[in-house]
Structure 1
Amino acid sequence: MRIALPLAGTRGDVQPAVALGVELKGRGHDVVIGAPPNLVEFATRAGLKTKACGPDVQKLYESDEGQRALASGSTFKLMPMVAKQMAEYADRFDDEMIDVCSGADLIVSTTMTEDRGQSIAEAMSIPLISLHTFPCRKNSKYPFPNGLPAQWSPPGPVNSATWVVAENVRRVVFMKYLNKLRAKLDLPSTRQSVAAALHRDGVPEVQIYDPVLLPGLADEWAGQRPFTGFLELTRATREAVGELADAHDDVLSWITAGPPPIYFGFGSMPIRDAATVVAQVDDVTRRLGQRALVSAGWSDLDRANAATGDHVKIVGALAHDIVFQHCAGAVHHGGVGTLFESLRAGLPTMVCSVSFEQPMWGTQVERLGLGSHVRFTKLDAATLESGLRVLLEDSTIEHARDMGAQLAKSAQACATVADIVEAHAAK
């Protein structure tokens, strides 16, 4: 069976689908990935046939405009910027997705490509599946991510209302571009939201995160949207893309020479003054009697000349599956991939959220007693120390350890999703 996976976004958006692609290829399927130009090499090195598809969102985030929008911590400042890039790239994106999906027997989309994927699947009369890395459909348990202040606990009808608003905004903003694609495909124009279209077509919406992180949601959806857990790369695939185990010998040697450190890594967050952040980490961990492992792959920090005490080690990007099992806690931006890795390792976690669904995950970390949450715009020495003290509490450590045991069940998530793909194709 030929399976197309048209993708868009950053590595965090693309990696889970690549993990699924590797599983499907291992089952003998002909898999083709559509990846943003900056991630074509990543997917290719994972062993998958890959074509360029969609704009380079990471390049947008790294621009001055993107960094200012990220630094504001507001999704509503980011969305117009992303929408503008998508609008400028729309015609080319349409053509690239059609090319990736041409000749496919089934399409696997993600939240960022499911609207185009639905129209292409309709035109080609083939099945479609969509992968969601966070709840992005109407429910009464949780509001639309970043739609309300994270600390609020609104009643069910208010939560549901935020989704109605969000789905209609998405429909109105992208309807013009979607109908241009439908015209290319000789399909009639539509005014339906993507959520309504997928529901009409019976498209499985697979939730590739664990329901224990969002209590009550799986019960409300009652099997309508299956939960599988996070899709992770195998160690062999990680090695293939460059996350070599033996490249961590120096780091592991430093870790084992003393008490387990707290990991600090902020992904693509906008740290314009990385030296100041590192100085705060150095000062706060020293006062708390902790060691700190700082992954500075997210900045242009001069690691060789950074002034820190012996209790701090600054390194580049790390393979979380290798390092986290040797740490005492983790501090990061709350992207679902990194969050899954830290919680699965049983680490008390501090989320320093920026935007999109990150504040939602940070709020859940706090509510479930797994750690602490602070908006990155509010991060300073005082909030960092307060958050780290929560991580060091016995109750937090115990809750995080219990969560790690539950998330270990996600090890079969790729196989579970692949089963869903094969079963849906057979209908």
Structure 2
Amino acid sequence: MSATALSVSAHTPAANSDTTPGAIVIFTVGTQGDARPCIGLGQALHRAGYPVRIVTSENFAPLVREAGLEFYGISADFSDLLTNNPETVDKALNPWFLVQHTRAKFAEWAATWAQEARPVCKGASLLIGTGIVTQLAKALGEAEGVPFLQAHLQPFTPSRKLSPLSFWSKREFPGWLNMALFSVMKLLAWYTLKPAVNGAIRPQLKLPLFPWYGPFFDKDPERMRVLYGYSRHILPRPDDWPEQVCVTGSWFLDQADEWQPPQSLTDFLAEGEKPIYIGFGSMLANNAEAFTDIVVDAVRLSGRRAVLATGWGGLRRDAGRMDDQIYVIEAAPHDWLFPRMAMAMHHGGAGTTVAAARAGIPSVFVPFFGDQPFWARRMNELGTAPPALDRRTVNAEQMAQAINDALQPQRIQAARELGEKIHAENGTATAVRTLGEWGLLPPLRDSDEATAPAAAPAELELVQVA
């Protein structure tokens, strides 16, 4: 069990005082791609004058604290899950395996969530739940009488014009089938979360249990409200979504101004044409050594200079310069690194996908699991990426060909145009403004309102609802 931890920077307003509104509490559990956007949203709310608490796993404590936000820990660690169970990633493109394998792990983590997180919600003004801890935030909101909102980085609201991520295909399904598939997806999600929610969280909070079909068929307009933190330029908002759904644009946690690159990396970048980036973030697999050999061979065959990022261990090489062609890092902020790259090969997580898109560079996708195949297909449709590679069967020749395909002039141009559109968005500012319009942000005291930045610049256009 992780002990509840707290860090407040010197400029963070103290919560629950007579002069500041109650804290906004954001719940997120998962990989870097799950945590970073939520921290970015928290930063925007903090800049607007609100105290913000992030509830997540201990491994993200430094990231939260560096962002100037309050950190509270709960028992969950995806890095440990992937490190000690690499078969989870190897077989995770099979949805049924993923459901079965994560079901027990989520229940194990959730056994202590209610007692760990309930003190965080005392005196809060709003709880925002994302991903697998959405139902934790919802239950705590019920128990404490605090407003709750769900926020996601992938589309989950049913639509006749959009297939669910788990069943997404190049072919278009008829509307009735899309709606049926969304129902199947909801039932699968509830099967995965039921032991955690009905078996631990709600009984410990003395709340009624959900029925056999779960909470995802609720038609109450207030509870259907959701913020989506992705770009409408990558995935347009379906016009049959209810008006309570807002696509804000992506939420970025930018660190380029604070990050100092090693001098050897700066020297490498200056020595020739822009290199390509290859990295798989938080992904791990049993065959990481062999997969790294394929990546290195592909770089050699392509003739391109490359920066390899080992991340959580998806690639295995010592950091530093391998030779004049390849430089290896553990990680670097995408907003610093990607504008200095010619192309990015990655797993296709929502955060990495939009970071490459914002930098205006093409991508090559090597999906591991989850929503990654969905984003890979979507970017291929937009012309900024070739068809995704199959990580389980890809060889160096196929990877080198995909690199060269991504760097064709038409893909470079498509990526540049998409990057300009995403740069014009400000997803976190739009999210803050929307929360205000929905009446979910408490009023600031006069002095705060006089000094706090505007929730959203006037030129931002809120995504229109149907």
Instruction: Tell me whether the two structures share a fold, i.e. TM-score over 0.5.
Output: yes
Q: Please name the residue that 2:269 is paired with.
A: 255
Matches of 2:105 and 2:124 in 1, distance apart? 28
Q: Secondary structure at the match of 2:128?
A: strand
Q: Is the 8 A contact 1:7 1:109 kept in 2?
A: yes
Cα distance change on mapping 1:302 and 1:291 into 2, 3 Å: closer
Q: Is the 8 A contact 1:55 1:93 kept in 2?
A: no
Matches of 1:40 and 1:222 in 2, distance apart? 36
Matches of 2:203 and 2:295 in 1, distance apart? 54
Q: Tell me which amino acid in the other structure corresponds to 2:253.
A: L
Q: Please name the residue that 2:418 is paired with.
A: 403
The counterpart of 2:229, out of the listed 203, 208, 222, is 208
Q: Please name the residue that 1:266 is paired with.
A: 280
1:317 is the counterpart of 2:337: no
1:120 is the counterpart of 2:136: no
The counterpart of 2:361, out of the listed 341, 347, 363, is 347
Cα distance change on mapping 1:383 and 1:156 into 2, 3 Å: farther
Cα distance change on mapping 1:279 and 1:171 into 2, 3 Å: closer
Q: Please name the residue that 1:79 is paired with.
A: 99
Q: Please name the residue that 2:183 is paired with.
A: 164
The counterpart of 2:87, out of the listed 50, 65, 68, is 68
Q: CA deviation at 1:248?
A: 4.4
Report the RMSD for the aligned CA atoms in angstroms: 2.5
1:290 is the counterpart of 2:304: yes
Q: Tell me which amino acid in the other structure corresponds to 2:158.
A: K
Q: Please name the residue that 2:393 is paired with.
A: 378
Matches of 1:303 and 1:332 in 2, distance apart? 19
The counterpart of 1:425, out of the listed 435, 440, 453, is 440
Matches of 1:30 and 1:98 in 2, distance apart? 17
Matches of 1:262 and 1:304 in 2, distance apart? 17
Q: Please name the residue that 1:229 is paired with.
A: 249
Q: Tell me which amino acid in the other structure corresponds to 2:56.
A: A
Q: Is the 8 A contact 1:370 1:397 kept in 2?
A: yes
Q: Tell me which amino acid in the other structure corresponds to 1:124.
A: E
Q: CA deviation at 1:271?
A: 4.5
Q: Secondary structure at the match of 2:127?
A: strand
Q: Secondary structure at the match of 1:4?
A: strand
Q: Give the % identical residues.
A: 25
Q: Is the 8 A contact 2:224 2:245 kept in 1?
A: no
Q: Is the 8 A contact 2:27 2:128 kept in 1?
A: yes
Q: Please name the residue that 1:178 is paired with.
A: 197
Q: Tell me which amino acid in the other structure corresponds to 1:387.
A: A
Q: Secondary structure at the match of 1:146?
A: helix
Q: Tell me which amino acid in the other structure corresponds to 2:88.
A: A
Q: Is the 8 A contact 1:74 1:354 kept in 2?
A: no
Q: Tell me which amino acid in the other structure corresponds to 2:403.
A: L
CA deviations over 1:109-145 (Å, ceiling 9, x no partner):
1122222222222233322121110112222333222
Matches of 2:282 and 2:38 in 1, distance apart? 20
Q: Is the 8 A contact 2:264 2:320 kept in 1?
A: no
The aligned runs of 1:120-199 (5 Å cut-off) are 120-147=140-167, 150-179=169-198, 180-191=200-211, 193-197=214-218, 199=220
Cα distance change on mapping 1:305 and 1:95 into 2, 3 Å: closer
Q: Secondary structure at the match of 1:129?
A: strand
Q: CA deviation at 1:68?
A: 1.2
In structure 2, the gaps of 5 or more residues are 1-20, 443-466
Cα distance change on mapping 1:296 and 1:189 into 2, 3 Å: closer
Q: Please name the residue that 1:37 is paired with.
A: 58
Matches of 1:258 and 1:35 in 2, distance apart? 41
Q: Tell me which amino acid in the other structure corresponds to 1:259.
A: E
Cα distance change on mapping 1:229 and 1:157 into 2, 3 Å: same
Q: Tell me which amino acid in the other structure corresponds to 1:366.
A: N
Moved over 6 A (4+): none
Cα distance change on mapping 1:426 and 1:309 into 2, 3 Å: closer
1:366 is the counterpart of 2:380: yes
Q: Secondary structure at the match of 1:378?
A: coil
TM-score, normalization: structure 1?
0.89
